[in-house]
Amino acid sequence: MPRHVIRHGRVIGDIWQVLVPRPGERPEAVALPEGPLAVSLAVWKARREELLARATPVGVRLEPGDDPAAIAADLPRLALVAVHFPRFADGRGYSTAYLLRRRHGYRGELRAVGDVTRDQLFYLQRSGFDAFQLRDGADPHAALPSLRDFSVAYQAAADGRPPRFRSPLPGDPRHG
């Protein structure tokens, strides 16, 4: 069965392969499969030219401790940045997403992968993610409503919504 991801609020088939070297495998030597491919930061650093020369889309998968500034200059050439959540309670990836979108201006697909469940989707989306690969066994169709848990927000984040004090209610007299 093909893997599915949620992207822009819909469930779609996943075209991407992800390459993370196993312990002991050298990033310089690991085989690069054909087709759209996202690689770990170590492989990206070791094989950047080779990957950019391919005719198929390339992406990078960041771990929680990876600094997004490390790929800032390459972002226009990346079709996917995947941010890995080894445990959903490790919230560093939310800041990674914010920085990619707001600090470094990344416009391509930003995907949360790993231990991702429907109960994190709303916050992930507000932090800048537009794609979600749920943990194994989770039903992406059942998760879709969680993207709409809240219709309003107090604060700005990375989803383009202004803070509430800069977004007057229609007809709100306090804001004239």
Partner 1 sequence: MYRYDAIDATLVAERVAQFRDQTRRHLAGELSEDDFRPLRLQNGLYVQRHSPMLRVAIPYGQLSSAQLRKLARIARVYDRGYGHFTTRQNLQLNWPRLEQAPEILAELAEAGMHAIQTSGNCIRNVTTDHFAGIAPDEHVDPRALAEIVRQWSTFHPEFAYLPRKFKIALSGAEADRAATLVHDIGLHARRNGAGELGLRVIVGGGLGRTPVVGAVIREFLPWRDLLTYLEAILRVYNRHGRRDNAYKARIKILVKALGPEAFRDQVEAEWAPLRGGESTLTDEELARVSAHFAPPAYEPPGDDDRALACHLAADRAFARWVGRNVHPHRQPGYRAVTLSLKKTGVPPGDLTAEQMELVAGLAERFSFGELRVSHEQNLILADVRGRDLHALWQRARAAGLATPNVGLLTNVVCCPGGDFCALANAKSIPVAEAIQRRFEDLDYLHDIGELDLNISGCMNSCGHHHVGHIGILGVDKNGAEWYQVSIGGEQGLDATLGEVIGPSFAAADMPGVISRLVETYLDLRHEDERFVDTAHRVGLAPFKARVYGERREVAHA
CB of 110 vs partner 1, minimal distance in Å:
14
The CA-based angle 49-40-52, given to 5 degrees, is 20
Quick one: 19 or 124, whose CB is closer to partner 1?
Answer: 124
Distance CA 120, CA 127 (A): 11
Burial 105-119 (b: 16+ CB within 10 A, else e): ebebbbbbbbbbebe
**Nearest approach, Cβ of 126 to partner 1 (angstroms)?**
4
Q: Is 22 left (phi over 0), alpha (psi -120 to 50) or beta?
A: beta
Minimum distance from residue 56 beta carbon to partner 1 (Å): 32
Closer to partner 1 by Cβ: residue 48 or 161: 161
Applying CB under 8 A, which residues contact partner 1?
Answer: 88-92, 94-96, 98, 103, 117, 119, 122-127, 149-158, 162-166, 169, 174-175
Which residue's entry shows tokens 């310089």?
A: 28
DSSP 161: P
Shortest CB 64 distance to partner 1, Å:
8
CB closer to partner 1 out of 50 and 139: 139
By the 8 A CB rule, do 84 and 113 touch? Answer: yes
Name which of 15 and 122 has its Cβ closer to partner 1: 122
Residue 142: how many CA atoms within 13 Å on its side-chain side? 7
CB closer to partner 1, 45 vs 104: 104
